[in-house]
Chains A and B, each alone.
Chain A
Amino acid sequence: MPSDKKKPLGTSRRWFLGQALTAAGTAIVAPKVLDNVNVAEAQQMSSNSLRDGKTERNSPIQGETPVTLTINGQTQTVRIEPRVTLLDVLRERLGLTGTKKGCDHGQCGACTVLVDGDRVYSCLSLAIMQEGRSITTIEGLAKGEQLHPVQAAFIENDGFQCGYCTPGQICASVALLNEVNRGCASAVTADLTRPPQLATLSEAEIKERLSGNLCRCSAYNGIVASVQQAAGQTPPSPAATMLVEEVAG
């Protein structure tokens, strides 16, 4: 395991390349040796709350390497091949299926998670590159029973139908509000020297900033209203107008 977890990105990337080369080289020369090493490492790791996914494998996989991730405040170590994405670690190894796979190509935003507070498409992120970072998924947004204000707003404003894009929309919305607080501008910000505040964040700004998250049920009106509510604004009612209100017996 790298001891330089907290070092800047460049170090991590160099470490990743080195590690990948080592794994490949060893595999060609002496696969058995590698297997033995991996078994030893795995045994050592199992005392450290190792969860190697739901698939109960009898033998470790060649080329796998232990990766320690901090997810929703908990540190976990998984053994994965370097090609495994953060999304597939969450869904297929750790049982954190709240993060959704919609396209696997960074085109829909369903897999959006927060990495050190920034929104990231987890399908485009290799898990092995996330060591030392703080990852927050949809499962980690609420504090116990207390929903994050964005989560509560999504329920109230009907910000979803099927719910499959919802975790990504919510994580993106949480990041969006943080970005506004930090004074980030968007492509539709008219005056870059005066980015919007939460109170003045327009529908056009919200829509622009959320357009990396697709929703085929098209709950877009409800999602925008949810962000408005979480920003402290008063959104329009999500309900329809009724011409007559009769209840059948």
Chain B
Amino acid sequence: MNKVIGTAVSRTDGLAKVTGKATYTGEQQIPGLVYGYLVTSAIAKGRIRSISTEAAQKAPGVIAVITHKNAPKVFKPTNNFITSKIYEARLPLSDEQVHYGGQIIGLVVADTFERARDAAQLLQVEYDIETPLVNSAKATYKAANSMFGEEMAFRKGEFSSGTGVTEPATIEATYTTSTELHVPMEPHAIIAHWQEDALTIYEPSQWVAGIQRTYAELFGIPSEKVRIVTPYIGGAFGSKVYPWPHSILCAAVARQIQRPLKVVVSRRQMTANTGHRSETEQTVKLTATKDGKLDAIVHTAKSVTSPVDMFPEPCTNITPVMYAAPNMQVNQTVATLNVGTPTFMRAPGETPGMWAMESAMDELAWKLNLDPVELRLKNETTTHLRKNLPFSSKHFADCLKEGAKRFGWQNRPRQPRTLTRDGKLIGWGMAAATYPALRGNATVKVRLLPDGRVNVLTSANDMGTGTYTLIAIMTAETLGVSVDKVSVEIGDSLFPDGGLAGGSQMTASLAPAVQQACQNLLKSGKFTNTKEAIKELQSSGRAAVEATGSSAPSEEGKNWAFQSWGAHFCEVSIDEEIGRLRVTRWVSVMDIGQVMNAKAAASQIRGGVIMGIGEALMEECVFDPNTGQPVVYDLATYHYPSHADIPRIDVTFVGKPDLTFNPLGARGGGEIGITGVAAAVANAVYHATGKRFRNLPIAPDKLMA
């Protein structure tokens, strides 16, 4: 067997992407296509008293003007995450109520994009305005259940702190994060094309089979009548799993006008209508012995949701995972604001959760005069303290030690404000990273041709994660062919259900399914190897031999907890006079089990780290307290890292397969990279300046204050 897994393979979709031939949603060439432009609310709370569409209807090229008064009917889907799911439980244009600024209140359809956009400005809307609530400090919080309805609060131990712990050291602090936007480079877009009673949807989707069922329920047609096509996704980060209101509206109006209809959400409209990560406020209390053994962890978290759906940011998922403590208590609450619906954004919960936990651990290390690496090693847990299950494979200590070595951590001065370079303060910080390992059902079809080429088909998708290449690697490995012989077609509901790209699970779900399909292919003809199969094809004149293979988790989750681990080390340089902070050095070491592609996996971790640097230093969506409208709404106002903000990110993987988890031992790396990053930066800032920053982002104004 030739060794392909774990090597550095260039992306097989690379040629299409560098030549402009990769076709994203808005780019499908469909004859007769017309254009929809969304109309959005100018108020953040109230009702539409009247809406005048006459001028828009008379505008050149206009085909339809849709508001709540003439909105086409759609059915409420089951909306249970399993059979179907929409991001926002309220269906678009279902009444005259306005729940948040920028909510969709209409759609104008015209023969060109320019004419639709122009006519959309001609609607005259009168509102009954109510005072919106966008300030979380004034909100009323109530106990939160997870999005699946499970209780989030958790308590263990007697909290008899003091018995056995003499002179305990305690840290208690509150940490906040701002509203963060996914802002994928490809704006949300959809083309809906009805041909008689069959619907084809071109839409970026992280869950092809799921939204196929969802659209079927929305329009009361069988799933077989819905086709989802999403060969390329221009970034998603959690915001392109289910249909958003604009998607539902586009498909409904396309049916009404009997024309293929394209709706692209403008960058500004995306702010309210395509999700975000809620702001959070967390309090962490750590109690430890003098030599740094944790005795109690208390972690409470608040987040906010929209009036039309419930999504609590699950910050406390990490608490029973990270560190051993005999006493533990977590609590989560959520409040409703007049803002758009929040949703999953890269490591939902873990990202803000690890910001708070890893900042608090750093504060404790300073208080105890312990090395923060040592403090973490001292409190490592081999079991998941809520599930009471052992971790299947854990090399967290290797991540800490290897990272420290690569960074040169042993040379770190133990006092803040001691390192300087070129008149600037230098600081070193570190933090841990973690993300659970998930795995779902996936099915793949493999077809071997007489000329030795292999086609692989599955509805799974690639939003930049490297799925095309992963499938090619896995096929090449199992069939013993070279990667360039494998052609992969994905992102189409006509292909077998390849599962969900979310929760970092695509690789873990899909790789075993590809392996299984390839093995089934050889078994089907009793071939000992691929060469024999090709020979048989050539001599028999058969067009191809094909097989499907599936993979699904079994009972292993009853006995084991599956989790990935990592450590970040970084250096910052700070010019206090002008509040300028530069991240100058970064080392990450990750334990994500077997790495499938050393190149793509490294890029995923780098991408996560950089999004985390954005969260730490600049990403912040702000709402006007009076109007309730977002005043940060595009790529000029919502700052995220550019080339000049980012140093080289040194990535190392432990690489030990977690074979209890799946047959390849691969756990996936899409999300773990971002966790802990903001804390590592803030901890470095403390080392540089002696100032503890507990509110993100650490923007220049805060550094100068």
Beta-carbon contact of B20 and A214 below 8 Å:
no
Q: Are A238 and B234 touching (Cβ within 8 A)?
A: no
Given contacts A161-B604, A213-B643, is CB(A244)–CB(B655) below 8 Å? Answer: yes
Q: Within the assembled complex, what's the spacing in Å between the Cα atoms of A158 and B636?
A: 27
Q: Which residue of A lies closest to B29 (CB)?
A: A54
Contact residues, A86-123 vs B (CB, 8 A): 88, 91-92, 95-105, 107-108, 110
The answer to the question of A22 belonging to the interface, with a C-beta cut-off of 8 Å to chain B, is no
How far does the alpha carbon of A95 sit from the alpha carbon of B5 in the complex, in Å?
Answer: 38
The minimal Cβ–Cβ distance linking A199 to chain B, given in whole angstroms, is 20
Task: Specify the chain B residue showing the minimal Cβ separation from A62.
Answer: B60
In the complex, which residues of chain B have a beta carbon less than 8 angstroms from the beta carbon of A210? 643
Contact B602 A240 (CB under 8 A): yes
Once the chains bind, are B185 and A102 in contact (CB under 8 Å)? yes
**Smallest CB–CB gap between B507 and chain A, Å?**
13
Shortest B87–chain A CB gap in Å is 19
- Give B20-58 interface residues, CB cut-off 8 Å to A: 20-24, 26-27, 29-34
Asked if B603 and A107 sit within 8 Å, CB to CB, the answer is no
A57 within 8 A of B: yes
Contacts of B15 in A (CB 8 A): 147, 155
The answer to whether A162 and B10 touch across the interface, beta carbons within 8 angstroms, is no
Contact A161 B186 (CB under 8 A): no
**Does B3 interact with chain A (Cβ within 8 Å)?**
yes
Q: Which residue of A lies closest to B466 (CB)?
A: A161
Chain A residues near B634: list those with CB within 8 A.
103, 105, 107
Residues of A contacting B11 in the complex (Cβ-Cβ under 8 angstroms):
155, 158, 160
User: Are A207 and B603 interface neighbours, CB within 8 A?
Assistant: no
Expressed in whole angstroms, the Cα–Cα distance for A110 and B17 within the complex equals 13
Partner of B113, one of A62, A92, A155: A92
Q: Provide the residues of chain B in CB contact with A100, threshold 8 Å.
A: 24, 185-186, 234
Inter-subunit contact B29/A138 (CB<8 Å): no
Contact present for B27 and A243 (CB under 8 Å): no
Could you give, for residues 619-663 of chain B, a 1 whenever the CB lies within 8 Å of some chain A CB and a 0 otherwise? 000000000000000111000111110101111111111010001
Residues of A near B235 (CB, < 8 A) are: 161-162, 164, 216-217
Scan residues 195-249 of chain A and give those whose CB is less than 8 A from a CB of chain B.
Answer: 203, 206-208, 210-224, 236-248
Most buried by A among B17, B183, B651: B17
In Å, the complex CA distance between A248 and B665 comes to 7
Q: Is A39 an interface residue (CB 8 A)?
A: no
Quick one: which of B426-471 are within 8 Å of A by CB? Answer: 463-466
Q: Are B654 and A163 in contact (CB under 8 A)?
A: no
CB-CB < 8 A to B19: which residues of A? Answer: 98, 138-139, 141-142, 147, 151
Are A163 and B111 in contact (CB-based, < 8 A)?
Answer: no
Distance between Cα atoms of A238 and B8 in the complex (Å): 9
CA distance A237 to B11 in the complex (A): 15
CA of A208 to CA of B582, assembled, Å: 14
Q: A-B contact count, CB below 8 Å?
A: 253
- How many residues of chain B are within 8 Å of chain A by beta carbon? 94
Choose the segment among A13-21, A40-48, A165-173 that binds chain B (4+ C-beta atoms closer than 8 Å).
Answer: A165-173
Pair A220/B643 contact, Cβ less than 8 Å: yes
Query: Do residues A83 and B398 form an inter-chain contact, with CB atoms below 8 A?
Result: no
Cβ of A56 under 8 Å from chain B: yes
Residue of A nearest to B17 (CB): A163
Contacts A238-B603, A248-B664 given; indicate if A154 touches B644 (C-beta within 8 A): no
| B13 / chain A contacts, CB cutoff of 8 Å | 163
Q: Contact between A244 and B654 (Cβ–Cβ < 8 Å)?
A: yes
* Contacting residues, chain B, for A214 (C-beta < 8 A): 185, 635, 640, 642
Distance in angstroms between the alpha carbons of A121 and B111 in the assembled complex: 25
Residues of A within 8 A of B602 (CB): 158, 238-240
The reply on A156 being an interface residue by CB < 8 A is yes
Question: Which residues of B lie under 8 Å from residue A170 when comparing CB positions?
Answer: 18
Interface residues of B in 57-110 (CB under 8 A from A): 60-61
| Selected contact of A217 from candidates B61, B601, B607, B650, CB within 8 Å | B607
Contact in complex: B653, A240 (CB < 8 Å): yes
- A160:B657 contact, CB within 8 angstroms: no
User: In the complex, A91 Cα to B644 Cα: how many Å?
Assistant: 30
Q: Does B307 contact A (CB under 8 A)?
A: no
A residues less than 8 Å from B232 (CB atoms):
162-163
Extra 14 A-B pairs, beta carbons < 8 Å, given A207-B644, A241-B651: A54-B29, A61-B61, A97-B24, A102-B635, A110-B185, A147-B19, A158-B10, A158-B602, A162-B185, A163-B22, A163-B234, A203-B648, A222-B603, A243-B654
When A and B form their complex, which 9 residue pairs have the shortest distance between CB atoms, in order from nearest?
Answer: A98-B20, A162-B464, A164-B234, A161-B464, A163-B17, A218-B610, A97-B27, A138-B20, A240-B602
A to B CB contacts below 8 Å, 27 in the list: A81-B114, A92-B112, A102-B187, A102-B267, A105-B267, A107-B636, A108-B185, A155-B18, A160-B464, A162-B184, A162-B236, A163-B232, A164-B186, A164-B235, A165-B185, A207-B643, A208-B643, A217-B235, A219-B603, A220-B646, A224-B643, A238-B603, A239-B602, A240-B601, A240-B602, A241-B650, A244-B655
Chain A residues with a Cβ under 8 A of chain B: 54-57, 61-62, 81, 83-84, 88, 91-92, 95-105, 107-108, 110, 137-139, 141-142, 147, 151-152, 154-156, 158, 160-167, 170, 203, 206-208, 210-224, 236-248
